[in-house]
Chains A and B, each alone.
Chain A
Amino acid sequence: MPYVSLILGRIGKAVIVLLAILVFNFFLIHAAPGDPAAVMAGEAGATDQQFLDDLRERFGLDQPLPVQLWRYMSGVMQLDFGYSYRQQMPVLDLILDRLPATLLLTGAAFVISLVFGILAGTLAAMRAKRPSGSIIMGLSLLFYATPLYWVAMMAVLVFSVMLDWLPAYGYSTVGAGYTGLAHVGDVAVHLILPALTLGLFFMAVYTRMTRTSMLSVSQQDFVKTARAKGLAPGVIQRRHILRNALLPIITLAGLQAGQMVGGAVLTETVFAWPGIGRLMYEALMQRDYNLLLGIFFFCALLVILFNMLTDVIYRLADPRIKEGVA
């Protein structure tokens, strides 16, 4: 079956890309000045050569670089991502511990940005020549041009400190001991500010793209035909224009969904969200090689998965491709 071999081929390529990323990052990280032993010794406020030597031996950092790479890669082949030097825990545990929070945050931001972006974009396209359309576009441009962390800072200031409506940081209320529905509600309240902050920028992107895409589709021949046939404008908007206009947005959204996971560093830092972006930044600063490589691996994996998913959705959404395959 050509379809199966196509998928297998893609998976094969993905594996190669993933391994290449690991090797690339391995050398990149080791090129950075300092190593985890030096960082830990530095933090201890006192150190001697014996202490450093002990640490390096324990971490396997006394071995030549190719040997370290070989050890690491052969571990990864067996799905063993090693130990975090600093936290003294398996890398996989640390990542799986933090991944849900990031997926929740980026998932929420993604849905918000996509839904509101497409809505606003459609609206703006339908009212392209009226002031309301210009206002939508003006606002989206404003969101697009404002630095993300600045929005985050202002949001905390207004909604947490001044109005005291929403919590300023964190994932849930510490010590509240909520369970079940109360816990879900608690997390949801904590999620609002970071998800909106992260979502705003992408919302602006989708708004602009939807509008442009709809305007260009609406000039195409098949839409003109539909109009000539006398179909109701609402039907044309929904079934003909929007459906086709969404195709480029699906592609873009697929690309960005993966990027968001690794790109949430700023939002997670400002809102103390216990996610993977923050973990990555800390691992980088502490030269926690194994942990950092593990996070890069998972981020890349997510990007690849989202790209594949995008392809599937694209095929479902685009009538031409579906017919082509069938």
Chain B
Amino acid sequence: MTLLSSVTGRLTAAALLVTLAAPASAQETPQSGGVANVAIQPEPPGLMLPLVQNAPTQRVAGNIFEGLLRYDTDLEPMPQLADSWEISDDGLTYTFHLHPGVKWHDGEAFTAADVVFSADVFLRETNPRTRAILDHVESIEAPDDETVVFTLKQPFPAFIQAFEVGTMPMVPKHIYEGTDFYNNPANNHPIGTGPFEFAKWDRGSVIELDKNPDYYEDGKPYLDKIYWHVIPDAASRAAAYENGTLDIMPAGSVENFDIPRLSGMDGSCMTEQGNEFFNPFAMLWLNNREGPTADKRFRQAVMYAIDRDFAKNVLWNGLGKVPNGPFSSTLAAHDDDLEQYPYDPDKAEELLDEMGYDGKPVRLLPLPYGETWTRWGEAVRQNLEDVGINVETESSDVAGWNQKISDWDYDIAFTYLFQYGDPSLGIARTYISSNIAKGSPWNNVEGYENPKADELFAKAAVENDPEKRQAMYDEVQQILHDDVPLAWIMELAQPTIYRCNVHDLITTGIGLNDGFKNAWIEQQ
């Protein structure tokens, strides 16, 4: 006991000396060692990322698994498992050169065969989003152990955005080939190539990840361990950060009202980075099929009636952005010249009078994702009632919400959708008429049908010329802006709160989901 504490004391003294000697470089040079305590909520259902696409799973397992590429905060591709890549001029062939000498956590070598298996076999079966992207792919081949070639059916410029860890995580072929993927025993102890390995999971309490000692990037990762704490109550999570148990609070860990207080604490930092790829876009589904919401004037009235700045300032602490149309402002294809719908209750009432709204009540379905969303539902209800729209709130839990949206059983409903870095991946899906089908809460559930918009989205997706593509996207944004198939209410910010002595926590546009490869803790 005494021995141990004296050793620790000497170490601390030594560390102090170093800090005194070179204060500037101590900030810059990553230090190895240390443990990160991170909040995770809700508890992930499993950590086999290629099998489970749920948000908390991505957040934890992004440390265990890796994709071929990462993306910086401007969404430009960066090397990960692939060192370099080429795209042919006709936009049809994508060639990746893999990093040599990469090993799975069980010691087996990672090769091009694993890539082919992951994309062509495993993910085609298990991941609906990846499946849709791979529809553009004619063939996937491995000419040698370190090269993979994807050949497309037609040009699909967004394809280069599809290689991050959540979309195309690499699966060990030697473990999964020929097995029942869903019942493979390895699912409880996932094997990846990532900087951290699965260690232990006390269900209901904590998930433990250990440093991968054989990681292929020299000196990385810096942290020895990551503990993911499962704490179901937001107020308890805030208390745990306050009393020093937790170091990192990913977006959504605490209620928005708590953010200024926690980020204002001594030694507490906050960043909005790491959100660029997902860029959650909050909107109101407006049922285009029936009821008052079927009338374009009613939908426009909704846009005028909702005080989006109030929501931004009061509910989201001034973070985020009020959108001017269907495309998020971080997308390259966004049209800055689109006219904003201002908060104008009088204009809304005028439109309602013009259409002859008869006071028929509309059902409002809030998103059951915590206090902020509940409050937002209350604010929107009040906004709508102020212009004379009769609103009945229908409360529901997550399962009921999914069911109602998937069955088109709503008038107005809250939701938010990820943009996935490109209109053809994240946006077209909500507006094209071929995507009208019951059973999914993520397709064209509002029932918007416009042949012109369909055509523009379809052509733009496979157009290899950036200028021509932009012209088409500009046109479709204007059409959607006027038709208001749904109400765009906020580009959500996703602030991460953490102790300031944690450095390089977020280095990509995918944020915490990209793992803690570069993160290090400055020791005093």
Assess whether B400 is in contact with A274, with CB atoms less than 8 Å apart. no
Which residue of chain B has its CB nearest to the CB of A286? B399
Can you list 20 residue pairs at the A/B interface with Cβ under 8 Å? A33-B403, A42-B402, A43-B55, A44-B127, A45-B55, A47-B441, A48-B131, A49-B439, A51-B128, A58-B182, A156-B235, A157-B239, A168-B236, A168-B239, A169-B233, A169-B240, A170-B229, A175-B37, A269-B233, A274-B202
Assess whether A278 is in contact with B204, with CB atoms less than 8 Å apart. yes
* Cα(A168)–Cα(B55), bound, Å: 26
Q: Does A285 contact B (CB under 8 A)?
A: yes
Q: Mark B224-263, 1 if CB is under 8 A from A, else 0.
A: 0101011111011001101101000000000000000000
Give chain A residues whose Cβ lies under 8 Å from the Cβ of B243.
Answer: 160-161, 164, 168
Q: Mark A243-277, 1 if CB is under 8 A from B, else 0.
A: 00000000000000000000000000111101100
* Cα(A51)–Cα(B129), bound, Å: 10
Q: Can you add 10 more A-B contacts, CB < 8 Å, to A35-B399, A40-B54, A282-B42?
A: A33-B403, A33-B404, A34-B402, A42-B441, A45-B418, A47-B128, A52-B440, A172-B205, A269-B232, A287-B399
Give chain A residues whose Cβ lies under 8 Å from the Cβ of B202.
Answer: 274
* Cα(A39)–Cα(B127), bound, Å: 15
Assess whether A272 is in contact with B399, with CB atoms less than 8 Å apart. no
Q: Mark B52-84, 1 if CB is under 8 A from A, else 0.
A: 111100000000000000000000000000000
Give chain A residues whose Cβ lies under 8 Å from the Cβ of B230.
Answer: 272, 274
Instruction: Give the residues from 433 to 477 in chain B that come closer than 8 angstroms, CB to CB, to chain A.
Output: 437, 439-442
Q: Does B35 contact A (CB under 8 A)?
A: yes
* Cα(A303)–Cα(B225), bound, Å: 42
* Cα(A64)–Cα(B334), bound, Å: 48
Assess whether B399 is in contact with A32, with CB atoms less than 8 Å apart. yes
Assess whether A46 is in contact with B129, with CB atoms less than 8 Å apart. yes
Give chain A residues whose Cβ lies under 8 Å from the Cβ of B129.
Answer: 44-46
Give chain A residues whose Cβ lies under 8 Å from the Cβ of B240.
Answer: 168-169
**Taking the nearest CB of chain B, how far is it from the CB of A270, in angstroms?**
5
Given A39-B402, A48-B128, A287-B399, A272-B231 contact (CB < 8 Å) = yes
Q: Mark A160-204, 1 if CB is under 8 A from B, else 0.
A: 110010011111101100000000000000000000000000000
Q: Does A304 contact B (CB under 8 A)?
A: no
Q: Does A148 contact B (CB under 8 A)?
A: no
Q: Mark B373-390, 1 if CB is under 8 A from A, else 0.
A: 000000000000000000
Select which of A32, A161, A172 is within 8 A of B242 by beta carbon: A161
**Taking the nearest CB of chain B, how far is it from the CB of A40, in angstroms?**
7
Give chain A residues whose Cβ lies under 8 Å from the Cβ of B404.
Answer: 33
Assess whether B128 is in contact with A46, with CB atoms less than 8 Å apart. yes
Give chain B residues whose Cβ lies under 8 Å from the Cβ of A168.
Answer: 236, 239-240, 243, 245
Q: Does A153 contact B (CB under 8 A)?
A: yes
| SS class, residues of chain B in contact with chain A | mixed
Give chain A residues whose Cβ lies under 8 Å from the Cβ of B406.
Answer: 38
Assess whether B442 is in contact with A169, with CB atoms less than 8 Å apart. no
Given A33-B396, A43-B54, A161-B243, A156-B442 contact (CB < 8 Å) = no
Assess whether B399 is in contact with A285, with CB atoms less than 8 Å apart. yes
How many B residues touch A, CB cutoff 8 Å? 56
Q: Does A240 contact B (CB under 8 A)?
A: no
Which residue of chain A has its CB nearest to the CB of B42? A282
How many A residues touch B, CB cutoff 8 Å? 54
Given A87-B45, A269-B233, A286-B399, A97-B203 contact (CB < 8 Å) = yes
Assess whether A160 is in contact with B400, with CB atoms less than 8 Å apart. no
Q: Does A50 contact B (CB under 8 A)?
A: yes
Q: Does B282 contact A (CB under 8 A)?
A: no
**Taking the nearest CB of chain B, how far is it from the CB of A272, in angstroms?**
4
Assess whether A34 is in contact with B400, with CB atoms less than 8 Å apart. yes
Q: Does B43 contact A (CB under 8 A)?
A: yes
Interface residues of B (CB under 8 A from A): 35, 37, 42-43, 45-46, 52-55, 127-129, 131-132, 182-183, 187-188, 202-206, 208, 225, 227, 229-233, 235-236, 239-240, 242-243, 245, 396-404, 406, 417-418, 437, 439-442
Assess whether A47 is in contact with B440, with CB atoms less than 8 Å apart. yes
Q: Does A120 contact B (CB under 8 A)?
A: no
Give chain B residues whose Cβ lies under 8 Å from the Cβ of A39.
Answer: 398-399, 402
Give chain B residues whose Cβ lies under 8 Å from the Cβ of A32.
Answer: 399-400
* Cα(A58)–Cα(B181), bound, Å: 12
Give chain A residues whose Cβ lies under 8 Å from the Cβ of B37.
Answer: 174-175
Assess whether A170 is in contact with B46, with CB atoms less than 8 Å apart. no
Give chain A residues whose Cβ lies under 8 Å from the Cβ of B442.
Answer: 42, 45-47
* Cα(A39)–Cα(B440), bound, Å: 10
**Taking the nearest CB of chain A, how far is it from the CB of B420, in angstroms?**
9
Give chain A residues whose Cβ lies under 8 Å from the Cβ of B402.
Answer: 34, 38-39, 41-42
Give chain A residues whose Cβ lies under 8 Å from the Cβ of B52.
Answer: 40, 44
Given A33-B404, A160-B239, A171-B205 contact (CB < 8 Å) = yes
A-B contacts counted at CB < 8 A amount to 164
* Cα(A278)–Cα(B442), bound, Å: 29
Given A32-B399, A38-B403, A44-B53, A270-B128 contact (CB < 8 Å) = no
Assess whether B399 is in contact with A282, with CB atoms less than 8 Å apart. no
* Cα(A161)–Cα(B418), bound, Å: 36
Q: Does A315 contact B (CB under 8 A)?
A: no
Give chain A residues whose Cβ lies under 8 Å from the Cβ of B188.
Answer: 88-89
- Between B127, B399, B404, B441, the greatest number of chain A beta carbons within 10 A of the residue's beta carbon is seen for B399
Give chain A residues whose Cβ lies under 8 Å from the Cβ of B204.
Answer: 97-98, 101, 274-275, 278-279
* Cα(A86)–Cα(B406), bound, Å: 20
* Cα(A197)–Cα(B99), bound, Å: 56
Q: Does A94 contact B (CB under 8 A)?
A: yes
Assess whether A86 is in contact with B231, with CB atoms less than 8 Å apart. no
Assess whether B205 is in contact with A274, with CB atoms less than 8 Å apart. yes
Give chain A residues whose Cβ lies under 8 Å from the Cβ of B206.
Answer: 174
* Cα(A45)–Cα(B183), bound, Å: 23
Assess whether B403 is in contact with A278, with CB atoms less than 8 Å apart. no
* Cα(A94)–Cα(B201), bound, Å: 12
Give chain B residues whose Cβ lies under 8 Å from the Cβ of A269.
Answer: 232-233
Assess whether A153 is in contact with B205, with CB atoms less than 8 Å apart. no
**Taking the nearest CB of chain B, how far is it from the CB of A171, in angstroms?**
6
Which residue of chain A has its CB nearest to the CB of B242? A161
Assess whether A272 is in contact with B236, with CB atoms less than 8 Å apart. yes
Which residue of chain B has its CB nearest to the CB of A167? B245
Give chain A residues whose Cβ lies under 8 Å from the Cβ of B418.
Answer: 45
Which residue of chain A has its CB nearest to the CB of B54? A43
* Cα(A44)–Cα(B55), bound, Å: 7
Assess whether A169 is in contact with B231, with CB atoms less than 8 Å apart. yes
Assess whether A175 is in contact with B227, with CB atoms less than 8 Å apart. yes
* Cα(A313)–Cα(B517), bound, Å: 60
**Taking the nearest CB of chain B, how far is it from the CB of A21, in angstroms?**
22
Give chain B residues whose Cβ lies under 8 Å from the Cβ of A174.
Answer: 37, 205-206, 227, 229, 245
Give chain B residues whose Cβ lies under 8 Å from the Cβ of A34.
Answer: 397-403
Assess whether B45 is in contact with A285, with CB atoms less than 8 Å apart. no
Select which of A42, A153, A157, A171 is within 8 A of B398 by beta carbon: A42
**Taking the nearest CB of chain A, how far is it from the CB of B197, in angstroms?**
16
* Cα(A94)–Cα(B441), bound, Å: 30
Select which of B187, B203, B205, B439 is within 8 A of A52 by beta carbon: B439
Give chain B residues whose Cβ lies under 8 Å from the Cβ of A153.
Answer: 235
The 4 tightest CB contacts between A and B, nearest first, are A34-B399, A274-B204, A46-B129, A44-B53
